[in-house]
Amino acid sequence: MAIETVLLAPVFVLFLMFLAGAGRLVEAQGEVNGAARDAARAASVQRTLDGAASAAEEIVTAALDGECSGPAVSLDGSRWEEGGEVRAEVTCELDLDFLGFGAARTMTGVAVVPLEQFRRVE
């Protein structure tokens, strides 16, 4: 019985580390997707594209503070016109070093929010 326990213990520990890493990845992807959604919504209520970019950056920085390093938002692909849409793409680097492997992964989330058709944009 003791030999089986000694042989299976490392496998069990690796399985638990895999579960912790997979759970952290799923949680981080949800946070990045939520930050992209919030950034797109904050940008969509601004009158200018510059104001939209600064609002989106502020929201992403606040939403991902301490969750992952170097959060960035891009509004490329947005159609800034009446009836257009705002496309926010958020990226950040997730540190998985707590698992002991020294791994990192880039997480990306995209959200699209329509602009009102009868709203003036500049």
pLDDT band at residue 21 under the 50/70/90 scheme: confident
13-25: average pLDDT? 87
pTM: 0.85
Q: For the chain, which residues make up each domain, given as ranges?
A: 2-114
Q: Do 39 and 54 form a contact (C-beta atoms < 8 A)? A: no
Q: Which secondary-structure segment (H or E) carries 95?
A: strand 85-95
pLDDT digits (tens, 9 = 90+) for 51-64: 999 999 999 999 99
Report helix, strand and coil shares of the chain as percent, to nearest 5. Answer: 50, 25, 25
What confidence score (pLDDT) does residue 72 get?
94
